[in-house]
Amino acid sequence: MAVRKVKKVVLYSTISGILVAILTSGVWFATYRFYTAKLLEERQSFEKQLAQRNSLLQRYQDESKKAYVLQSAKQAGEIIGAMDLREEKIPSHVTPGNVVLDPKDLVGKHLKINALAGTMLTSDMVRDASKMDSTERKHESQYIRLPLRIQKTDVVDIRIVFPNGEDYIVVAKKKLSDVHAGQQLAFFNVTEEELMILQSALVDSYMREAELYAVPYVDPEFQERAVVTYVPTMDVLRAMQTDPGIIDKAKLAAMALLRPDLDRRMNELPEGSKVRIGADLPSGSGVSKRISEGGRAPLGPEEEGVTVPQPAAPNPGMQPQTQANTAPVQMPVEPPQNQGAPAADGTQPSPSAPDVSTGNSTSLLGG
């Protein structure tokens, strides 16, 4: 009897163990299948995204151009070395047409402008040292009117304006190497031809009451060089014809035909009307009035004749007011209608005396 019970316990235990094992295996298998399916789904999604990105990258590479950028910042005039360059892929829609594609076109060249690290180099940014004009020299000037906010990195046109308003470009697109706006000093390089043209313009500034001034470019890297329109004096043109440092002399003959017309127009100006334009503010202009008024708009004609009522005499029983409140308001006084008209006997009347009661003389212009 006892043996039978033991056999039953062993049998039930075995069956229970088998059932537990089967149940555990089923749960594990189901879990494995679930996570395997999920991993397969995530893998397929990742592979799809990777394929899309590879396609986008390939299209980006197909639509990009090879360009070279600077590894570090360099100043204008410095020589570009092979270690200064790094190859980059730049999208075509932001790549200029004159981007340099071959590093051989950059190594050994001189930078024309100051450039920061990462700057993409174009053919307009560099120049060959062998192409530099042999007559190029450093020039210092203190006869050109400079803008007050000019910077030493600016690129400017040097222009000249004559008393009759004629305005010409003397030297175009000059890169300043240094500048001192307070002293009106400018430093830049010039060739032999540009130097002689500048000297001619300086003579015109003395003899013709002309004014030389500088105008900076907004974006010199993308703006084209302006065309020189100034014609030197006949004496300077003759000197340029015999100067061995000036190679292109074909245009000097055309200049010699234009200069006499300019001289004739200047000679036709009355001596009293020759004014150096830009040296001083026009007399009575709105700018001069604003400056004299500290930026305030001057009174209009309709406001100058308005009479401001004077304060009444203080009541003896009231407290006296402060000086700031009792300051008299001075208004312009219109001149007598008959001032300046001759008397009946033909004598000229004497000018009206200043108003000594207020200590100020009255101007006829309300000033």
**Do 207 and 105 belong to one domain?**
no
* Tokens representing residue 172 in the block: 């175009």
Question: In the predicted model, is pLDDT for residue 286 greater than 70?
Answer: no
| Residue 68 domain flag | yes
The count of structural domains within the chain is 2
Average pLDDT of the segment spanning 116-131: 83
Greater model confidence, 130 or 100: 100
Q: Is residue 155 part of a domain?
A: yes
- pLDDT of 207 strictly over 70: yes
Indicate if the alpha-carbon torsion angle 221, 227, 233, 239 is positive or negative.
positive
- Would you say residue 291 has pLDDT above 80? no
Of 273, 299, 323, which closes a domain? Answer: 273
Most confident of 132-136, 146-150, 273-277, 281-285: 146-150
Percentage of the chain exceeding pLDDT 90: 35
Position 303 in a domain = no
| 90 band by pLDDT with thresholds 50, 70 and 90 | confident
- My answer on whether 147 and 259 are in the same domain is yes
Q: What percent of the chain has pLDDT over 70?
A: 74
Q: Got the DSSP string for 279-338?
A: TBPPTT-HHHHHHHTTTPPPPPHHHHTPPPPPPPPPPTTSPPPPTTTS-----PPPPPTT
What is the pLDDT, as a whole number, of residue 168? Answer: 97
Is the domain of 137 the same as that of 209? Answer: yes
Tell me if 192 is assigned to some domain. yes
Q: Which of 256, 273, 290 is the last residue of a domain?
A: 273
pLDDT of residue 221: 78
| DSSP reduced 3-state for 33 | helix
* pLDDT at residue 314 tops 60: no
The three-class DSSP label of residue 178 is: strand
The answer on 195 and 102 residing in a single domain is: no
Q: What is the reported pLDDT for 98? A: 84
In the chain, which ranges are E strands?
Answer: 64-70, 85-91, 110-111, 126-127, 137-141, 155-161, 167-180, 185-190, 211-216
pLDDT at 258: 92
69 and 126 belong to one structural domain: yes
Q: What is the pLDDT confidence band of residue 144, given thresholds at 50, 70 and 90?
A: very high
Q: Is residue 195 part of a domain?
A: yes
> Residues with Cβ < 8 Å from 161, sequence gap 6 or more?
167, 168, 210, 211, 213, 277, 278
Over 50: is that where the pLDDT of 248 sits?
A: yes
Between residues 199 and 92, the one the model is more confident about: 199
How confident is the model over 49-57, as a mean pLDDT?
Answer: 83
Listed in sequence order, the residues at least 6 apart from 112 whose beta carbon sits closer than 8 Å to its beta carbon are: 76, 124, 125, 126, 127, 175
Residue partners of 79: CB distance under 8 A and separation at least 6: 108, 109, 110, 129
Q: What is the mean pLDDT of the chain?
A: 78
Residues 222, 251 within the same domain: yes
> At 287, is the pLDDT very low, low, confident or very high (cuts 50, 70, 90)?
low
Q: Let me know whether 117 and 169 are in one domain.
A: no
Q: Is residue 186 part of a domain?
A: yes
pLDDT at 312: 54
Is the pTM for the entire model greater than 0.75? no
Q: Is the pLDDT of residue 157 over 70?
A: yes
The model's pLDDT over 161-174, given as tens digits with 9 standing for 90+, comes to 999 999 999 999 99
Q: What pLDDT band is residue 351 in, cutting at 50, 70 and 90?
A: very low
| Residues 100 and 141 grouped into a single domain | no
Whole-angstrom distance, CA of residue 60 vs CA of residue 94:
13
What's the domain range around 190? 133-273
Judgement on whether residues 149 and 261 belong to the same structural domain of the protein: yes
> Would you say residue 125 lies in a domain?
yes
CB 77 within 8 A of CB 110: yes
Q: Dihedral of CA 117/119/120/123: which sign?
A: negative
| pLDDT surpasses 70 at 12 | yes
DSSP-derived secondary structure letter, 271: G
- Same domain for 256 and 193, yes or no, is yes
Query: At which of 114, 130, 146 does a domain end?
Result: 130
**Which pLDDT score, from 0 to 100, does residue 217 have?**
96
pLDDT at 114 over 50: yes
Q: Beta-carbon neighbour count of residue 347 at 10 Å? A: 8
- Least confident range from 45-49, 62-66, 346-350: namely 346-350
Position 126 pLDDT exceeds 50: yes
CA dihedral 323, 328, 330, 336 (to 10 degrees): -150
In a domain, residue 8? The reply is no
| Together in a domain, 262 and 141 | yes
Of 298 and 239, the one with more pLDDT: 239
127 or 162: which carries more pLDDT confidence? 162
Q: How confident is the model at residue 249 (pLDDT cuts 50, 70, 90)?
A: confident
Of 75-89, 120-134, 198-212, the range with the highest mean pLDDT is: 198-212
Identify whether residues 146 and 167 lie together within a single domain.
yes
- Place 112 in a pLDDT band, splitting at 50, 70 and 90: confident
**Distance (Å, whole) CA 295 – CA 288:** 10
| Rounded Cα distance, 145 and 280, in Å | 12
Give residue 294's pLDDT band: very low, low, confident or very high (50, 70, 90): low
Which CATH number covers residue 110? Answer: 3.90.1210.10
